[in-house]
Structure 1
Amino acid sequence: MLSRSGRPFVQAVFGPVAKLFVRIGVSADAVTITGTVAGVALALWLFPTDHLTAGALSLGALVLFDSLDGQIARLTGTSSRWGAFLDSTLDRISDAAIFVGLLAWADAHAEPRYHALLLVGTLGALVTGSVVPYARARAEGLGMTANVGIAERADRLVVILFSALFVGMELGDVILVVAVWYLFLAGLVTTVQRMVVVRRQATAPEE
């Protein structure tokens, strides 16, 4: 939902930055790779060391910059299947790093009463966050579609980063508990939705 409604705004804001990068010769692939390396490093450094506020803010900025590679590719006419594959694959790595970082934070710094809930919920959100895009990619690889569900990437990132920010502001670990369990369950629901949609297509009578 947010990925569709927020895209025009983000493109308008970062369009001038993309044009600047094009002028100085920065490629779309370079932006994709640099953003991923920076995101993974920040997530695995700031979250485990109990710097949730700094981690959430810096990673949020990188998420906004995530649209730059696509804009650069369009401006330079270099959009390609390789670029789309690279971007999608590295997005999975970036997302996983966020949840691994939070998993490490939960194990070392969470309130004892929420410790187990955070570990299970964060691990569940990590797993379903990988299964959801895989289900869509596998369906498309088989010539079908599976672009349904309530747990799109942008929505997941907004939920997890804002909850980490609020916990970092000492508003209570329970916020992160609710967030990771929501993402875990939303991921399960989305996975089932995509399985149902694909099964209908796979078993539909051929015309």
Structure 2
Amino acid sequence: MLNIFARASVSRATDPIGAWLVRLGLTPNAMTLFGTAGAVAGALWLFPTGHLLAGTFVVWGFAMFDLIDGSMARALGGGTRFGAVLDASCDRLADGALFSALTWYLFTVVDHRVLAVAALLNLVLSQVVSYVKARAEASGLSADGGLVERAERLIITLVGTGLTGLGVPYAIDVALWLCAVGSVITVVQRLLAVRRAAEGAAA
């Protein structure tokens, strides 16, 4: 949902940075890999050891490279099909690392099994939300949009971990359950969008 309202504003801020990095000789794919490696390493190292505030800033910082690689691709006249697949694959790795790390933290550090279930739900649902779109596009259909896309998942989850790291009670509880419920709604929204697109194509 944020993609609809914020993409143009964000692009105005990041496009000059992307163009500058291209002039330095960097490539969008290299930026994608660098950002993903940092986000995955930060999540798997910091969250399971209970460093929630540090993990929040590290994962958020490296996730911002996901904005920069798109700006770099635009500076080069548009991205490649391989770049699009690489970017989507790396997004899934980063999402998986984030929710896996939080699941481990909740199971082993704080022994909060009910909340660990919420983290596991988010781990699965984050992949399903993206898979529905990818499978629809492979079938020539559309499944864009939804209440909680990747940007919303990251914002909600990292706000929860960051506030928890600052000592705010129940912040991560609210964040994970809110994200899980929103993701379920998003899966349903996308499946309905696919059905409408399929019916329109058949007609």
TM-score (norm 1): 0.90
Name stretches of at least 5 consecutive residues in structure 2 with no aligned partner.
Answer: none
Are residue 180 (structure 1) and residue 137 (structure 2) matched? Answer: no
Q: 1:13 & 1:204 partners in 2: Cα distance?
A: 38
Deviations 1:6-54 (A, max 9, x none): 3334333333332331122111110001111111000000111111101
Tell me the equivalent position of 2:48.
48
Following superposition, which runs of at least 4 residues in structure 1 exceed 4 angstroms of deviation?
none
Tell me the equivalent position of 2:186.
190
Q: Considering only aligned residues, what root-mean-square deviation do their CA atoms show, in Å? A: 1.7
Residue 64 of structure 2 aligns to a residue in which SS?
helix
Tell me the equivalent position of 1:200.
196
Q: 2:36 & 2:66 partners in 1: Cα distance?
A: 9
Q: 2:65 & 2:173 partners in 1: Cα distance?
A: 28
Q: 1:2 to 1:200 in 2, by over 3 A?
A: closer
Q: 1:69 to 1:204 in 2, by over 3 A?
A: closer
Q: Is the 1:103–1:119 Cα contact (8 Å) retained in structure 2?
A: yes
Tell me the equivalent position of 1:63.
63
Tell me which amino acid in the other structure corresponds to 1:178.
V
Q: Is the 2:22–2:72 Cα contact (8 Å) retained in structure 1?
A: yes
Deviations 1:42-77 (A, max 9, x none): 000011111110111121122222111111122123
44-53 or 147-156, which deviates more: 147-156
Tell me the equivalent position of 1:156.
153
Tell me the equivalent position of 2:93.
93
Q: 1:11 to 1:200 in 2, by over 3 A?
A: closer
Are residue 167 (structure 1) and residue 164 (structure 2) matched? Answer: yes
Q: 2:201 & 2:151 partners in 1: Cα distance?
A: 35
Counterparts of 1:13-52 in structure 2 under 5 Å? 13-52=13-52
Tell me which amino acid in the other structure corresponds to 1:89.
S
Q: 1:70 to 1:118 in 2, by over 3 A?
A: same
1-10 or 183-192, which deviates more: 1-10
Higher relative contact order (CA 8 A, sep 6+): 1
Q: 2:126 & 2:198 partners in 1: Cα distance?
A: 24
Name stretches of at least 5 consecutive residues in structure 1 with no aligned partner.
Answer: none
Q: Is the 1:10–1:64 Cα contact (8 Å) retained in structure 2?
A: no
Sequence identity, in percent?
Answer: 38
Deviations 1:124-159 (A, max 9, x none): 011001000100111111111111421111011100
Residue 142 of structure 2 aligns to a residue in which SS?
coil
- State the 1:5 CA deviation: 2.7
Q: Is the 2:99–2:119 Cα contact (8 Å) retained in structure 1?
A: yes
